[in-house]
Structure 1
Amino acid sequence: MEHVPDAVEGVLHVPVGLRLRRVWPVLLLVIISAVAWWWWSNRTTTNRQWDGSLALAPAQANVAWPQFGRDATHTGVLSTGTSLVGEVVWQHKTAAPLIASPVVGDGVVYFGSSDSYLYAVDAASGQTRWRYSLGPKLVNSTPVLAGGLLLVAGDYTWINAIDARSGQRVWRYDTGDDVLAPPAVDAEARLALVASGGTLVALNVRNGERQWQVQVTDTTPPGWPSVAAPTVGGGTVFWAPGVGHRLFAFTEASGTTRWSFDAGDRLASTPVLAGDSLYVVTWRGKVWALNSQNGIVRWQRTIGTGQPGEGSEATPSLGGTRLFVGSYQGTLYALDASTGTDLWHFQAAGPFLASPATSNSVVYCASEDGKLYALDAEKGTVRWQHHLAEMRSSPALTDRALYIGTLDGTFVALR
């Protein structure tokens, strides 16, 4: 972990005349302490109890956008705030592309970069507070902020819990397989859900201890692990692993399977939960609305022509009665959330690989054509657009600003 600016290191001055026999016991104690600390820090899971200054409950106190899609239901909606005008407030340059989406809380923005660092920057000024090295693997997974801890994937198979204020690691857990998807944390900040290959693990947020683990069995045509985050609500965890066509629902308490649903196509995006309705989009463009209690279909429609790669991997956003879905073909669809009826659509010059975010009757969407669009949620008309660079990072919103990363390594705050 590297702090900016660097702290001044203390210097211990030892009188020249001090005899060696009085020094070596102290040196031995220092060496033993250092070895013990190294062993403790590098175990698969520490069992240290997090006693940080930020309380664990309620989880989202003073937090504006603490995880991917804002909360564990991943609706991507901020219910309060003023309309933004698209003016850049500050920029923060990193050494590599920014693919992971940011999270925001307590006046600080956190984001991972492909340069292997997790950054904490002041939300108002863009000044770096600290950065933490997560190892050689590209950091493409969005962190989650819960109870004063940042949970973030790094170094291939590891989940790290970082003190959000100091940037010091509290615990870490080895999943045994690459972690591509953002972790999710329930509303009480009690349980962290981590997807790794075809395995879903539930960890204690305080200390990283495993609570339960499930390995999915999917006999539908094989796919490959997706970057879809688990979705949590109503005592159920919903997950689309991408290794087949199935969406799974597990009990949050034990990981027992409640139901599964065959979407008939690979699921690449994170499910969105609103009340007792669950929305999910497939690789070929099927949009499904399911009863979250039993997996029964409420409606289904297809965006595009239904061909491979013409669907979506971007998680939808649900603003009021409208479901906003971006596609590989550069079209943003506004669908009636209760029927699936097409209300309007907007065409950009590049794909929508990032998920939209909605606030104050405006839907914000980032395209690979390099533009960030602010669209009227009712009509689909452009309120403003700002050319930045190609984007795969999804925006995070507060009541005063929007934060997003670009593929040229620039992190941007707009108001």
Structure 2
Amino acid sequence: MARYDPAGTGYNPDSRGPKDGVEVAWQRDTDSSMHGLTAPILVGETLYATGQQSLVAFDRDTGEIRFTRDGQYWSTPARATASAYRSDTLAVSGREGLLGLSADGGYEVFGRSVGAERWSSHGQETQRWSSSSPQEPSPVAADGAVYAIVPDTDRVVAVDGSSGRVRWERTVGDEQSSGSNRPAVRDGTVFVSSRPGDVVAFDAETGDTRWSVRPEPHPESTLRYRNFGPATATDSGLVVPDREGVTLLDPADGSVLWEYTHDGNGTDGSAAVADGTVFVTDGVESLHAIDLESGEREWIADYSPDTDPVVADGVVYLGYQISELVAIDAETGDRRWTYEGATYFTQPIVGDGVLYVLTDEGLLALEEAN
């Protein structure tokens, strides 16, 4: 799923990617408009990428297209277990609400797709229109359920991954809130942050509110609220980035454990957490490494865009829609390599020695350079 796991860490401890340089292993475009700003996912031997008009499945080793299914999808899918089917369900947000798609693509009969869509939830078609590629917070799958932000709302919903049956639905913050982020799920709790500065913890099974907080702005801030980005759940607490810094909240009651201020303009990123270190961009000029326990700075690396870091085997990978793809050493902050072979890059994902990223020219697989 987006950010790798339900907790949203952006860190796969069992994976590795190219460290000292990259070259193209394969690149594959499609006839359909799959280009967008959402990251692909890797499930077993299959890569899935969504776009404004389709879901496309690729072979991870060769890039061969296994199937293409039409649809307007606005998020990265999340793989959910489906007890009623032989294959998993891919939960994705789209123009028609929250959808459950067959991971094997269903069937193609006389040019028409059959069985690709298993269920839909909150299916009232949104009236929103944009000339750019729309985005919605990506769903999260955990323990047979899918947790998602209902498109165009500030409500979080839990649905069954197999049937799409709604288990519960709740409002994030007060009724005037807007801009809720991707949920983070850990230890039976669903954490949701919002742009107006609310952070709410819900019981994953019942939807009951465990706590709801709205921390005060940073002491020297001129903003009225924190403008939180997506939360990341860890053993030490809930890591929540905002425009001007990062806050660690106690997962038991939402109290502030520490605050880190970078005085940047982080409006569109999330925090990765790996091996006791928080990695977050400030939207101005830097990537920050912060000690998870103390909130103290470990190092700063030059990196201008505000984005979503991912980490594997001691390397931080960052992609941005109009810039470059870079690899930074997680321990020192030194830049290991830079790749500029496309107009834009989505958030990359890391496989078994390979980095996969969606670009304006299709899906790209990068491996260690000889």
Equivalent positions of 1:16-415 (< 5 A) are 67-84=1-18, 85-94=21-30, 95=33, 97-114=35-52, 116-135=53-72, 139-147=73-81, 148-154=88-94, 156-167=95-106, 168-174=116-122, 176=124, 180-186=136-142, 188=143, 190-196=144-150, 197-218=153-174, 224-226=178-180, 228-242=181-195, 244-263=196-215, 264=217, 265-282=225-242, 284-305=243-264, 310-348=265-303, 350-353=304-307, 355-368=308-321, 370-391=323-344, 393-406=346-359, 408-415=360-367
Shift of residue 254, structure 1, vs aligned partner:
1.0
Alignment partner of 1:185: what SS? strand
TM-score w.r.t. the length of structure 2 is 0.83
Return the alpha-carbon distance in structure 1 between the equivalents of residues 214 and 344 of structure 2: 31
Return the alpha-carbon distance in structure 2 between the equivalents of residues 400 and 394 of structure 1: 17
Shift of residue 392, structure 1, vs aligned partner:
5.7
Return the alpha-carbon distance in structure 2 between the equivalents of residues 132 and 409 of structure 1: 19
Return the alpha-carbon distance in structure 1 between the equivalents of residues 91 and 333 of structure 2: 36
Alignment partner of 2:22: what SS? coil
* Gap change, CA 1:82 and 1:223, over 3 Å in 2: same
Return the alpha-carbon distance in structure 2 between the equivalents of residues 175 and 217 of structure 1: 23
Q: What are the ranges of 5 or more consecutive residues in structure 1 without an aligned counterpart? A: 1-66
| Mapped contact 2:155–2:170 kept (Cα < 8 A) | yes
Deviations 1:157-197 (A, max 9, x none): 422211111342222222547581101111x2x11111021
Q: Which has the higher contact order (CA 8 A, sep 6+)?
A: 2
Identity of aligned residues (%): 26
Question: Which residue identity lines up with residue 150 of structure 1 in the other structure?
Answer: L
Deviations 1:249-293 (A, max 9, x none): 0111111111112133344522101114110111x2221001111
Q: Would you say how many aligned residue pairs link Structure 1 and Structure 2?
A: 330
Comparing both structures, which one devotes a greater share of its residues to helix? Answer: 1
TM-score w.r.t. the length of structure 1 is 0.75
| Mapped contact 1:312–1:326 kept (Cα < 8 A) | no
Q: What are the ranges of 5 or more consecutive residues in structure 2 without an aligned counterpart? A: 82-87, 107-115, 127-134, 218-224
| Mapped contact 1:69–1:357 kept (Cα < 8 A) | yes
Shift of residue 223, structure 1, vs aligned partner:
6.2
Superposed CA RMSD in Å reads: 2.0
Comparing both structures, which one devotes a greater share of its residues to strand? Answer: 2
